[in-house]
């Protein structure tokens, strides 16, 4: 027990409330039910948001097919046996078994950070967008990893259509209707394909916009897109997108996007007000503020049992961890950063922590990658799963069926299914609620003193 005391419960600290954090805590609360009830163990989850985001549904949330509330899972409801702390771990001194964190309360009270001692550490802060030093990107780019970004982008696209429809300036109209996505992995391709589909439909409600007026550009540095579904299905996806007039540029990079002009490595200059950056991920920055071993890419070095290498009482999985792939034919390969591994690793990780607390042997994580499914808009998709290749409607249906089976909790499955069913019966949602981002704007205007026009009060 911590600091040699026997009265305190052993504290398991889980950093992050995403795939790994939520599933690990969920399984731990089941595995250690007796210990939790006896007060011998406590599980503390530190997370910046009180919900887990089901990221594969973000493109559909951006398209308006799923409402943002149903893309997230409320942690307090699911993890009723755990303590949820809304905050961020700033650093970890594992030698002292202490994490330093800032919470909403420390921010309000102005007390800075607080120290939280622990006995076992699960470190699962995932990844952040991997940006490159592209001039203008920090000012004009947007990522696609959070529900806020997905909904913000949906509102932004519809707002650009409103601007284009109401301006008399052709240059402004062209820039508003040009959408540049950088990165051809599933996040970028699905986000672009779903938003293009949504915008194409929405255009029919504008008197002076046609779908052909909108310009969608996908910029990819390598010679293929969607590597997750294999080369053949990736080529199909390119044909599908190009068939919809989407400008797919392979072996091309974004060089700069200053002054709202995207300059590509092939010399093209695209005036645009939208640059979506989905060119890969890098491990969460907090890992650099720990005394745990990291690999050259900044991920925590882990064993196949999901313990941090060479350190006792520290565990990791998901995008933040370099976990050996014991199923790979070539030695030295590691598991790719995806949800498929994250969910399964979390299960083994929780079981291994419970086993280690009970002095039992640990298991190895072994999962052969099953392939992937991707949506290319309503009724369009591509899949390569267990050696089977599907495209078009069957792939899209498989994508929906797979993710419906995977989204956590029965509650969320039922709500998502209800939304899909209703959207099959009614017309698509084309509304943008951009003003939700500034809820006080209307009141501030009403409460502001009236403008002084120099009028003298009449006596
Ligand atoms: C748009 C999109 C679509 C995707 N689609 C697929 C798909 O179809 N199939 C698939 O297999 N994978 C998909 N992925 C990838 C998948 O979502 C990730 O691999 C998975 O989320 C990794 O899980 P994780 O627990 O490591 O990280 P996350 O799920 O990202 O969780 C990390 C958590 O840690 C929190 N955190 C970060 N820093 C701190 C800190 N300092 N202190 C406390 N908490 C912190 C974060 O806020 C977050 O809640 C997609 C990703 C995106 C962005």
- Per-residue pLDDT, averaged over 268-279, amounts to 96
Contact status, residue 210 vs residue 245, Cβ threshold 8 Å: no
Please state, in angstroms and as integers, the Cα–Cα distance from residue 33 to each residue in 19, 41, 219, 350, following that order: 21, 9, 50, 13
pLDDT above 90 (res 168): yes
- Tell me, what's the pLDDT at 4? 47
Which atom from ligand 1 is nearest to the alpha carbon of 88?
42
23 lines ligand 1 (CB under 6 A): no
Tokens of 124: 């699962």
- Tell me, what's the pLDDT at 5? 46
- Tell me, what's the pLDDT at 411? 92
| C-alpha to C-alpha distance for 113 and 445, rounded to whole angstroms | 37
| C-alpha to C-alpha distance for 25 and 79, rounded to whole angstroms | 7
183 lines ligand 1 (CB under 6 A): no
Burial status of residue 417 (CB atoms within 10 A of its CB: 0-12, 13-18, 19 or more):
middle
Greater model confidence, 233 or 387: 233
Nearest to 280 by CA among 180, 141, 185: 185
Which atom from ligand 1 is nearest to the alpha carbon of 373?
8
Query: Maximum distance among all alpha carbons in the chain?
Result: 93
- Tell me, what's the pLDDT at 436? 64
Would you list the DSSP string of 373-387? Answer: EEE-STT-EEEEETT
Backbone angles phi, psi at 310, to 5 degrees: 75, 10
- State the residue for tokens 């989204």: 407
Nearest to 60 by CA among 396, 444, 341, 293: 396
87 lines ligand 1 (CB under 6 A): no
| C-alpha to C-alpha distance for 448 and 366, rounded to whole angstroms | 62
Helices (H), 32-146: 33-37, 58-63, 75-78, 104-109, 137-140
Would you list the DSSP string of 93-112? Answer: EGGGTEEEEEEHHHHHHT--
277 lines ligand 1 (CB under 6 A): no
CB atoms within 10 A of CB 59: 29
**What residue owns the CA closest to ligand 1's atom 8?**
56
Contact status, residue 284 vs residue 126, Cβ threshold 8 Å: yes
- Tell me, what's the pLDDT at 279? 92
pLDDT above 60 (res 106): yes
55 lines ligand 1 (CB under 6 A): yes
- Tell me, what's the pLDDT at 78? 95
- State the residue for tokens 């755990």: 82
Contact status, residue 308 vs residue 316, Cβ threshold 8 Å: yes
The gap from C-alpha 323 to its chain's centroid, in whole angstroms, comes to 20
Greater model confidence, 433 or 90: 90
pLDDT above 70 (res 7): no
- Per-residue pLDDT, averaged over 286-293, amounts to 97
| C-alpha to C-alpha distance for 81 and 255, rounded to whole angstroms | 49
- Per-residue pLDDT, averaged over 241-250, amounts to 96
pLDDT confidence bin for 456, thresholds 50/70/90: low
- State the residue for tokens 């504008």: 206
284 lines ligand 1 (CB under 6 A): yes
CB atoms within 10 A of CB 213: 16
Contact status, residue 376 vs residue 190, Cβ threshold 8 Å: yes
Which atom from ligand 1 is nearest to the alpha carbon of 58?
1
- Tell me, what's the pLDDT at 428? 78
Q: What percent of the chain has pLDDT above 70?
A: 96
pLDDT confidence bin for 435, thresholds 50/70/90: low
Helix (H) / strand (E) element for 240: namely helix 230-243
pLDDT in tens, 173-208: 999 999 999 999 989 999 999 999 999 999 999 999
Kindly report the CA angle at 59 between 54 and 64, in degrees rounded to 5? 105
Contact status, residue 342 vs residue 22, Cβ threshold 8 Å: no
pLDDT above 90 (res 444): no
**What residue owns the CA closest to ligand 1's atom 48?**
18
pLDDT in tens, 69-79: 999 999 999 99
Tokens of 15: 């950093």
| C-alpha to C-alpha distance for 348 and 451, rounded to whole angstroms | 65
Nearest to 60 by CA among 391, 374, 278, 276: 374
Residues facing 98 on adjacent strands? 93, 117
- Tell me, what's the pLDDT at 454? 60
Q: Which residues contact 162 (CB under 8 A, 6 or more apart)?
A: 432
- Per-residue pLDDT, averaged over 85-99, amounts to 97
319 lines ligand 1 (CB under 6 A): yes
- Tell me, what's the pLDDT at 107? 75
pLDDT confidence bin for 261, thresholds 50/70/90: very high
Ligand 1 centroid distance, CA of 317 (Å): 11
Q: Which residues contact 358 (CB under 8 A, 6 or more apart)?
A: none
Ligand 1 centroid distance, CA of 281 (Å): 10
- Per-residue pLDDT, averaged over 240-262, amounts to 95
Greater model confidence, 251 or 1: 251
pLDDT in tens, 302-314: 999 999 999 999 9
Residues facing 390 on adjacent strands? 383
- Per-residue pLDDT, averaged over 222-239, amounts to 92
How many distinct helices (H) and strands (E) make up the chain?
14, 24
Q: Which of 101-110, 313-322, 361-370, 388-397 has the lowest mean pLDDT?
A: 101-110
**What residue owns the CA closest to ligand 1's atom 24?**
126
Q: Which of 64-73, 314-323, 327-336, 392-401 has the lowest mean pLDDT?
A: 327-336
pLDDT confidence bin for 210, thresholds 50/70/90: very high
What end-to-end distance do the CA atoms of the chain give, in Å? 81
Reported as half-sphere exposure (CB side, CA atoms, 13 A), residue 396 has a value of 15
Chain-wide mean pLDDT for the chain?
A: 91
Tokens of 38: 């006896």
Backbone angles phi, psi at 427, to 5 degrees: -70, 160
**What residue owns the CA closest to ligand 1's atom 29?**
18
**What residue owns the CA closest to ligand 1's atom 53?**
145
- Tell me, what's the pLDDT at 453? 66
pLDDT above 50 (res 459): no
Which atom from ligand 1 is nearest to the alpha carbon of 128?
30
| C-alpha to C-alpha distance for 436 and 7, rounded to whole angstroms | 49
């Amino acid at each position: 027990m911590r600091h040699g005391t026997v009265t305190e419960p052993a504290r398991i600290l889980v950093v992050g409330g995403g795939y790994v954090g939520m599933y690990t805590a969920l399984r731990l609360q089941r595995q250690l039910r007796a210990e939790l009830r006896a007060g011998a163990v406590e599980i503390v989850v530190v997370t910046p948001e009180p919900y887990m985001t089901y990221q594969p549904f973000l493109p559909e949330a951006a398209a308006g097919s799923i409402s943002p509330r149903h893309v997230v899972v409320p942690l307090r409801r699911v993890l009723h046996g755990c303590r949820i702390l809304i905050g961020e771990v700033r650093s970890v001194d594992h030698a002292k078994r202490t994490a330093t964190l800032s919470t909403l309360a420390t921010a309000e009270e102005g007390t800075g950070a607080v120290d939280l001692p622990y006995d076992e550490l699960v470190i699962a802060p995932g990844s952040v967008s991997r940006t490159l030093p592209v001039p203008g990107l920090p000012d004009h780019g947007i990522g696609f990893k959070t529900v806020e970004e997905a909904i913000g982008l949906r509102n932004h696209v519809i707002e650009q259509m409103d601007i284009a429809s109401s301006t008399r300036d052709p240059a402004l109209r062209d820039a508003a209707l040009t959408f540049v996505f950088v990165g051809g992995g599933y996040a970028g391709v699905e986000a672009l394909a779903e938003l293009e589909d949504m915008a194409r439909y929405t255009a029919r409600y504008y008197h002076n916009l046609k779908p052909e007026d909108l310009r969608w550009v996908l910029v990819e540095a390598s010679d293929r897109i969607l590597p997750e579904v294999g080369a053949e299905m990736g080529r199909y996806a390119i044909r599908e997108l190009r068939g919809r007039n989407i400008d797919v540029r392979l072996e091309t990079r974004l060089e700069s996007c200053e002054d709202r002009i995207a300059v590509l490595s092939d010399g093209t200059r695209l005036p645009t007000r939208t640059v979506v950056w989905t060119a890969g991920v890098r491990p969460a920055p907090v890992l650099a503020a720990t005394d745990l071993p990291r690999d050259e890419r900044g991920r925590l070095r882990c064993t196949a049992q999901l313990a941090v290498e060479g350190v006792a009482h520290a565990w990791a999985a998901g995008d933040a961890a370099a976990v050996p792939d014991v199923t790979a034919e070539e030695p030295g390969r590691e598991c790719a950063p995806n949800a498929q591994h994250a969910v399964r690793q979390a299960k083994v990780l929780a079981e291994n922590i419970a086993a280690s607390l009970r002095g039992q042997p640990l298991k190895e994580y072994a999962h052969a990658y099953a392939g992937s499914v991707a949506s290319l808009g309503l009724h369009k998709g591509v899949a390569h799963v267990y050696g089977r290749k599907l495209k078009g409607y069957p792939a899209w249906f498989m994508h929906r069926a797979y993710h419906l089976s995977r989204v956590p909790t029965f509650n969320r499955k039922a709500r998502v299914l209800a939304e899909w069913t209703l959207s099959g019966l009614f017309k698509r949602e084309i509304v943008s609620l951009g003003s939700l981002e500034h809820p006080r704007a209307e009141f501030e205007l009403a409460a502001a003193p009236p403008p002084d026009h120099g009028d003298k009060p009449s006596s």
